[in-house]
Chain A
Amino acid sequence: MATLELTIDEDVVAGPVARKRRLGPLFWAAIVWMIFVFAAAALASVLPLPSPTDMDMLERRAPASMLHWLGTDGLGRDELARLIFGARISLTVGVCAPVIGITIGGALGMLAGYFRGRFEQIVVGSMDVLLAFPPLILALAVTAYLGQSILNLTCILGVLGIPTFMRVARAATLTLTRREFVIAAQALGATHARILLRELLPNVLLPLLAFFLLGVAVFIVVEGALSFLGLGVPPPISSWGSMIGEGRESLDVAPRLAFLPAIAMFLTVLSFNLVGDTLRALTDPRQGAL
C-alpha cells in the first residue's frame, strides 16, 4: 500500500524561506536615481526648459541664474537642458546597445551550449575573433565609414557586446544541460525548441538580465568616451561625453561645465552597477535553496 505523507499539510503550507535579502539604502538610492534620470530623459521635451541648442553669445559660461539654473556652456547654451537631453542620448545608446547584445548573444550562447559540436566551435571561434578587435578602433572605423549617428553608434556598440553575452548564456546553458531535468524533458519526447524555450530559457534569463544591467553601465561609459573624443554623436546633439570634452577648454574658468556631466554619468553608471550586482546576488542562491 502506498504510504501517504500524512504530515504534508503543515510541511508544505509553511512556504518558502522569506527572502530577507538586505536591500539596503544604497540599493534604493540607486533605484531612485535611475527613475529620476529616466523620467527626466523621457519628459525632456515637455519640461519647461530652454532649448539645448539655442546659443546666446552674450551669456557664455554664465554662472547659475534664474534663467539658466546651472548656467551656460562655452557657446551660451543652457547647461541643465543639455544635461537632460544628454541623458537621453546616454540612456538610449546605453540601453539599446546591450539589448542587441543580449538578444543575439544570448540566443547564440544558448544554442551553442545546447547543441555543442561544430556549431559551438564556429560560434565560439567567431566571437573570439570579434573580441580580438580593439573595440574603440572598430567603432571608429565603422563611424568613419558609415557616418556618425546615434543609430550607427548603437548598432556598432551592440555588436561589440555580443561576445560577452554569448559567453554568459553559454556558460549557464552548459551547466544546465547536464542537469537531469533537461534529460527528463528529452526523455519525454520534447522537441529541441521546447526544451530551449521552456526548460533552459527561464533559467538562463536571470543571469543574463543581471549582466544586462552591468552592460548598460559599461556602454554608457563607452559612449561617453567616444563622444568625448568627438567620435560619438555628432554636434549639436549633446551627450554627456561630448559635454565633458567641450568642458575641457573651460576647466580653469568654469569647471562645472566638465564636472556636472561627469557627475551625472558617474551616478548613473554607479546605480546600474549596484542594481545589477544586487540582482546577480539575488538570483544565485535561489538555485541551491531547498
Chain B
Amino acid sequence: MQDLSPSSSRDPLLKVENLVVEYSVGGRIIHAVSGVSLEVARGETLGLVGESGCGKSTLGRAVLQLRRAVSGRVLFDGHDLTAMQGDALRKMRRRVQLIFQDPIASLNPRRRIGDIVAEPLVIAGVADPAKRQELVSEVLSAVGLDPGLVAGRLPHEFSGGQCQRICIARALVLNPEFIICDEPVSALDVSIRAQILNLLEDMKSRFGLTLLFIAHDLAVVKAVSDRVAVMYLGRLCEVGPSEQLFAHPAHPYTALLIEAIPVPDPDVRPAESVPVGEPPSPMAPPSGCRFRTRCPRADQRCRDEVPELRPVAPDQYVACHHPLIAAG
C-alpha cells in the first residue's frame, strides 16, 4: 500500500490473462484451468459460477499464487503476481485475502480467536500488542461479534455461521482491497446464509472492497454480483452483467444451469430435465468445446474448434459456436 505505486483507478484491479493451471494426480494430468482470462474492476463483485470440477476454486487459489500456474499472468493493480516470489509476494498478499468454504476447518483448532484474527497483523509486522488488540476488536465488532466474549475462546465453541464471521474478520483486519470468497456460504444453513451474504455486502461497502465471489449456487451468486462469469471444465463459457446474463443467457450451459435451479414456487412445475448425462473428467476433457458432449446444439465444428469469448450483447461475452443469442 505504501510501497507499491497505485495505478489509475479506471484500470481493472485484477486482470487474469490466459491462466493455465494443471496438476498431476498419480501420473495423470488434471487440466483444472485451461486458458482463462478475466478482469475485475475496482469496487465491483465478479461472481464466478460453475459446478464441481470446473476449476473455479483452483482459479481462486491460482490468483493468490497458492497454486502456481503453468502459464499465463495474474496482474493485481498492474503488478504481475505470477512473476513474484518470496517477500515481494508476501507483501502483495496483504492486499488480497481469501475466505474459504469450510469456516471451521479454516481456523486452527488450538488457537484462540483473538490470536487467529491478530495473526495477519503479526505477519505484517504490527509490533504493538495494544494496537493489534484494538484493530482486532474493531474488526470483530464490524462483523457482528462481541470481542470481549469471543476473543478468548477456541473455534470449536462456535457455530458455522459464527466461524465464518471470524474468518471474514481475519480477512478484513489488514484492510485489504480485494477478497476472494471461495464458496463462503455453501456449508452454512439456509437461514445463516442470508446473514453472511448481507454481512459481505455490508463489509464491501464499508471497507471499499472488490470481490471475486466463487460459488456453485447461481441464485446466491446473482444476489451479490455485478457481473457473473460461468465456468465449465476449466474454461469460461460466458461473462456478463448479472441481470442480463440470467435473463438472457447466451451459452447453452448457462441456460441449463438456470433451468436446473429448484424454484420455491409450487406453480412452477420443474421442466422434465433433458438427460444430458454427467460432466466429463477433467483428466480427459473433450476436444474443441468442452461442453459439446452434453450440448443439444453441438456439431462437427464444436468438436474441432475451441470457441473463444466473443461479444454477443453489450458487455456480454460468450464462448460458443452456436450461442442462444445471435451476435451483434
Residues of A with Cβ closer than 8 Å to B? 1-5, 8-9, 11-13, 15-16, 179-181, 183-191, 194, 198-199, 202-203, 286-287, 289-290
Question: For the complex, is B198 an interface residue (Cβ under 8 Å from A)?
Answer: yes
Q: Which of B24-32, B69-77, B141-149, B222-230 sits within the interface?
A: B141-149
Q: In the complex, are the beta carbons of B149 and A181 less than 8 A apart?
A: no
Q: In the complex, are the beta carbons of B144 and A4 less than 8 A apart?
A: yes
Q: In the complex, are the beta carbons of A290 and B66 less than 8 A apart?
A: no
CA distance A9 to B149 in the complex (A): 7
Interface residues of B in 294-314 (CB under 8 A from A): none
Question: For the complex, is B195 an interface residue (Cβ under 8 Å from A)?
Answer: yes
CA distance A286 to B155 in the complex (A): 11
Q: In the complex, are the beta carbons of A8 and B146 less than 8 A apart?
A: yes
Q: List 30 A-B contacts (CB under 8 A).
A: A1-B198, A1-B202, A2-B144, A2-B203, A5-B144, A12-B158, A13-B149, A16-B157, A179-B105, A180-B100, A181-B105, A181-B108, A183-B61, A183-B66, A183-B98, A184-B98, A184-B100, A184-B106, A185-B119, A187-B64, A188-B119, A189-B120, A190-B119, A191-B90, A194-B123, A202-B108, A203-B110, A286-B109, A286-B156, A290-B159
Q: In the complex, are the beta carbons of A5 and B145 less than 8 A apart?
A: yes
Pick the contact of A189 from B94, B142, B156 — CB < 8 Å? B94
The number of chain B residues touching the other chain, given as a range, is 35 or more
> What residues of chain A lie closer than 8 Å to B203, measured between beta carbons?
2
Interface residues of B in 146-169 (CB under 8 A from A): 146, 149-150, 153-154, 156-159, 161-162, 165, 167
Pick the contact of A290 from B102, B104, B143 — CB < 8 Å? B104
Q: Which of A15, A183, A199 has the most CB of B within 10 A?
A: A183
Residues of B with Cβ closer than 8 Å to A? 61, 64, 66, 89-91, 93-94, 97-98, 100-102, 104-111, 119-120, 123-124, 142-146, 149-150, 153-154, 156-159, 161-162, 165, 167, 170, 195, 198-199, 202-203
Between A and B, how many residue pairs show CB distances below 8 Å? 102
> What residues of chain B lie closer than 8 Å to A179, measured between beta carbons?
105
Shortest beta-carbon distance, A187 to chain B, in Å?
4
Select from chain B the residue with minimum beta-carbon distance to A187. Answer: B98
Q: In the complex, are the beta carbons of A181 and B143 less than 8 A apart?
A: no
CA distance A190 to B124 in the complex (A): 9
> What residues of chain A lie closer than 8 Å to B158, measured between beta carbons?
12
